[in-house]
Structure 1
Amino acid sequence: MVLIQLSSLVSEVSHGQAFLGLCSLLISLIVILLIRQLVKQRRPRGFPPGPSPIPVIGNIMSLATEPHVFMKKQSEIHGQVRYLNYCGNIWHIMVLNGYDAIRECLYHQGDVFSDRPSLPLFMKMTKMGGLLNAKFGNGWIEHRQLASNSFRYFGRFQKPLDQKILEECMFFVDAIDEHKGKPFNPKHLVTNAVSNITNLIIFGERFTYDNCDFQHMIEIFSENVELAVSGWAFLYNAFPWIEYLPFGKHQKLFRNAAKVYNFLEQIIRRFSEGRVCNFPRHYIDDYLNKLDKSAGDLGTPYSRENLIYSVGELIIAGTETTTNTLRWAMLYMALYPNIQEKVHKEMDSVLGSEKSPSLADKKRMPYVEAVLHEVLRFCNIVPLGIFRATTQDTLVSGYNIPKGTMVITNLYSVHFDEKYWCDPGTFSPHRFLDSNGNFVRREAFLPFSLGKRHCLGEHLARMEMFLFFTTMLQRFHLQFPPGTVPSLTPKLGMTLQPLPYSICAVRRQQ
């Protein structure tokens, strides 16, 4: 009996020792992994300074809310060129703040800062193909050149592009007029009008404002612009294995992308019917002609898949930024009636009540130009640009930057750079005028970025902003519904857009 009890006691002690040993081993393993992670997480040698990263997650929390504002404030501590650690050792990021640092890199070292980082999200969505997220190289160069030619030579056999924009402007103001001066949310109408200009280039025709299929696609695009910078998207870039989790906003992002790509495939097929080689009617024809000519070339960058990606990227890039610029412009005209009154006076003196605006009138309306430039500066539609990556080892402000480093260009910091802007936190169109009231270009003004990856559609966007804005303000006085003032806090996504607001467009009595 005693032997049995002794044996049982020895067995319990053995099990207890084994359990304690296992716990000790597990704790030791966790400590070793944590130490290993902290060692890997150290700032690379020669890299610029930056805030201390949190173990494992790095500085990811700084990208959660208003990252452009946080990065500018940090630059006051660590300098214009600074370091961020993204999820431990996964990504070492260089952040550029201020006009001087961004110009040094994007202009003076254009080739070096022209790549895109191979983020898992980009890999998943476009396989680093298409146009916007393509890696720097011959494939991207050929796709950009093709798109540039389509923008430049559009209307070779039709009306000039500015006339097409003016036609869309009339559809736009007529649709606004249907509200009879009563409150409405302008987002839907502005989005449709702006997207139709890109549609003319890509498909050769516009979509009516009540085309449900196209409206649904634009809504999905807009939602994905927000989801692409959600916390789940950042987590996916750090831990791609969460793709297999059945929940999370990243799953919504992927489902949306699949729907859009299916829709684009269908309309590409529809608008390519009747294509005649060497007589392209629009971007799709141009692309398919290139695809046919490169048949059998294993190294060709042209493919049906890249066509879908490129079309989708052109639509969203050509719609989202200009749409949000015009929505901010409408909001600020209603917010500052004295500025709106000056716009009306200048337009009346140049155009009167009968003549429609044209691009030729631009030079004669310096105050209108100043207002639009101040909207672009103050509202920072794309505050962080699109992430870049270095193509080779380089030196920036005395710091060693390795090849493949992810680079964030804080364009917000350029437009609020106290070195170049007096009282940048105040909305003031007069900063773009000289003492005689003439329009003046400012050096530290980069809403379309800089260098080889600058916005492809900058010229088109400027045409649209001017013609839509002047056509609208010639006909209407903008004001908020009585007793309401919308929030000026932006809705954060890849772009900064105003929160939904209502506005009244009242017919002017001239």
Structure 2
Amino acid sequence: MWWSEGQLVGAAGAAAVFLLLSLVVRQLLKQRRPIGFPPGPAGLPLIGNIHSLASEQPHVYMKKQSQLYGQIFSLDLGGISSIVLNGYDAVKECLVQQSEVFADRPSLPLFKKLTKMGGLLNSRYGKGWTEHRKLAVTSFRIFGFGQKSFESKISEESMIFLEAVDTYKGKPFDLKYLITNAVSNISNLIIFGDRFTYEDTEFQHMIEIFSENIELAASASAFLYNAFPWIGVLPFGKHQQLFKNAAEVYEFLLCLIQRFSQNRKPQSPRHFIDAYLDEMDRNKNEPESTFSMENLIFSVGELIIAGTETTTNVLRWAVLFMALYPNMQGQVHKEIDLVIGPNKTPCLEDKCKMPYTEAVLHEILRFCNIAPLGIFHATSKDTVVRGYSIPQGTTVITNLYSVHFDEKYWSNPEMFCPERFLDSSGQFLKNEAFVPFSLGRRHCLGEQLARMEMFLFFTSLLQRFHLHFPSTVTPNLKPKLGMTLQPHPYLICAARRH
């Protein structure tokens, strides 16, 4: 039987239509909620609730939906079944009481593309994560805060930072780049055993690309890529910029690893890179080993950005709020003058005698919610929570913003009020619903280091300077959206106090 050209074209067209319809039907079937799954807002065909996340701040949208559907509800991320945990009770119930079940990471196409589900932060829960987490925790202790001299290294960096601020002579400038350099150098001491100068443009460029990717990873384009990874063949879209940035960063990180591993003496590590290479040597004959050069690159990148992005933004928000509330800044100045004085270098021993300063830093972490949704979790096996059936592999979003604005644990949470962390006698008061570093097995491993940095950098800055905005400037308090919430660029004046 001979087919005419027109018949062949028609048959091909029919096949294409059939294939398209099949894909649409398959996608719609994926979007059906599993039996016993938590309820949630209705989504659009194919893209589910992605459009809602793109229309406003995702963490705010999720808190609003929890008022309709309860503390645990579901979202359809374009066929990716996910649940959202809202409020302290729900987050604690899952991340603490079922810590192992909720310790996995979702196998999302974006994570697979960027880190192949390896490295440290995005790795699946299992042997690889356990090995890398243990090594990172040990390295932070041995090369970081476990050293008696490490606090003085942070103080030395803060002095370099203050001298750089001093060069502006009280004139308006953007503090972001100096803070970023100073904070990243603390992590660099652990990872590389060395710091980078503030004039090192190559390293600064890498940090800027990292920061851009933090924004891009939470964009609607990234959610669409996770739902429809085939759009990766398209030459445009924010996901393409994200992949381009990642490739450039990984190439630069490899160069850094090679540079700082020169003259390495096996089993005598000087920093994290040496310690990792020792593990690679020790496990070279183990076929199941997860220690590899590729995973080292991923781990170094994750430690750099995790150690830089969050603490940098906490300090940027802190400076902004001190300039916004001069009376609060005055109280911090008064406490610093009373406990430390004008000339002594601030130290961690001072912290327990400075409850108001501690309260200010805690309120900034609560109110500004630097990482409002944390890093997505996933269930490692089927489980039941509050009567809902949650299948293995379900994506889990922890809305830490909703925890810090949970009316059950915080009175008037919409108000910026450091006094909420003080008791009636002015002493520092803890609140169990304060979880900026998350909870459970995947909580931030750099929490202790971050707390050290925040206190020492903040008190050093306020000891020397009075912070204020240029005249007639009204700062934008609405955060820039991304996986972290950072302030929009602003200018600050830092005038010498003494």
What is the identity, as a one-letter code, of the residue corresponding to 2:178?
Answer: L
- Unpaired runs of 5+ residues, structure 2, are 1-5
Aligned residue in 1 for 2:407: 418
Structure 1 residue 56 corresponds to structure 2 residue 46: yes
Aligned residue in 2 for 1:465: 454
Q: TM-score normalised to the size of structure 2?
A: 0.95
- Alpha-carbon deviations, 1:119-145, whole Å to 9, x = none? 111101110000010000011111011
| Whole-Å separation in 1 of the counterparts to 2:458 and 2:23 | 58
Of the candidates 496, 504, 509, which is equivalent to residue 485 of structure 2? Answer: 496
What is the identity, as a one-letter code, of the residue corresponding to 2:342?
Answer: S
1:184 partner SS: coil
2:384 partner SS: strand
State the 1:41 CA deviation: 2.3
Whether the 8 Å contact between 2:104 and 2:377 is mirrored in structure 1 is yes
Aligned residue in 1 for 2:366: 377
Of the candidates 173, 178, 184, which is equivalent to residue 184 of structure 1? Answer: 173
| Whole-Å separation in 2 of the counterparts to 1:300 and 1:30 | 42
State the 1:312 CA deviation: 0.3
Aligned residue in 1 for 2:131: 142
Compare 247-256 and 94-103 and name the one that shifted more.
Answer: 247-256
RMSD: 2.1
| Whole-Å separation in 2 of the counterparts to 1:27 and 1:324 | 50
| Whole-Å separation in 2 of the counterparts to 1:313 and 1:307 | 10
| Whole-Å separation in 1 of the counterparts to 2:182 and 2:248 | 23
Aligned residue in 1 for 2:3: none
With over 3 angstroms needed to count, the CA separation of the structure-2 counterparts of 1:422 and 1:207, relative to structure 1, is same
1:490 partner SS: coil
What is the identity, as a one-letter code, of the residue corresponding to 1:498?
Answer: P
- Alpha-carbon deviations, 1:184-243, whole Å to 9, x = none? 000000000000000000000100000011111111111111111122211111111111
| Whole-Å separation in 2 of the counterparts to 1:383 and 1:341 | 29
Equivalent residue pairs, number? 490
Of the candidates 253, 263, 267, which is equivalent to residue 242 of structure 2? Answer: 253
Of the candidates 84, 87, 90, which is equivalent to residue 75 of structure 2? Answer: 84
Structure 1 residue 41 corresponds to structure 2 residue 23: no
| Whole-Å separation in 2 of the counterparts to 1:272 and 1:38 | 51
Answer with 1 or 2: which has the greater Rg: 1
With over 3 angstroms needed to count, the CA separation of the structure-2 counterparts of 1:437 and 1:56, relative to structure 1, is same
Aligned residue in 1 for 2:61: 70
Structure 1 residue 213 corresponds to structure 2 residue 202: yes
Whether the 8 Å contact between 2:51 and 2:220 is mirrored in structure 1 is no
The percent identity for this pair of structures is: 65
| Whole-Å separation in 1 of the counterparts to 2:474 and 2:352 | 33
Whether the 8 Å contact between 2:62 and 2:399 is mirrored in structure 1 is yes
Instruction: Map 1:307-326; keep pairs closer than 5 Å.
Output: 307-326=296-315
1:154 partner SS: helix
Q: TM-score normalised to the size of structure 1?
A: 0.93
Aligned residue in 2 for 1:481: 470
Aligned residue in 2 for 1:126: 115
Whether the 8 Å contact between 2:109 and 2:225 is mirrored in structure 1 is yes
State the 1:22 CA deviation: 12
- Alpha-carbon deviations, 1:275-308, whole Å to 9, x = none? 1122110000000011111112111110001000
| Whole-Å separation in 2 of the counterparts to 1:474 and 1:319 | 23
What is the identity, as a one-letter code, of the residue corresponding to 2:117?
Answer: M
With over 3 angstroms needed to count, the CA separation of the structure-2 counterparts of 1:145 and 1:28, relative to structure 1, is closer
With over 3 angstroms needed to count, the CA separation of the structure-2 counterparts of 1:356 and 1:83, relative to structure 1, is same
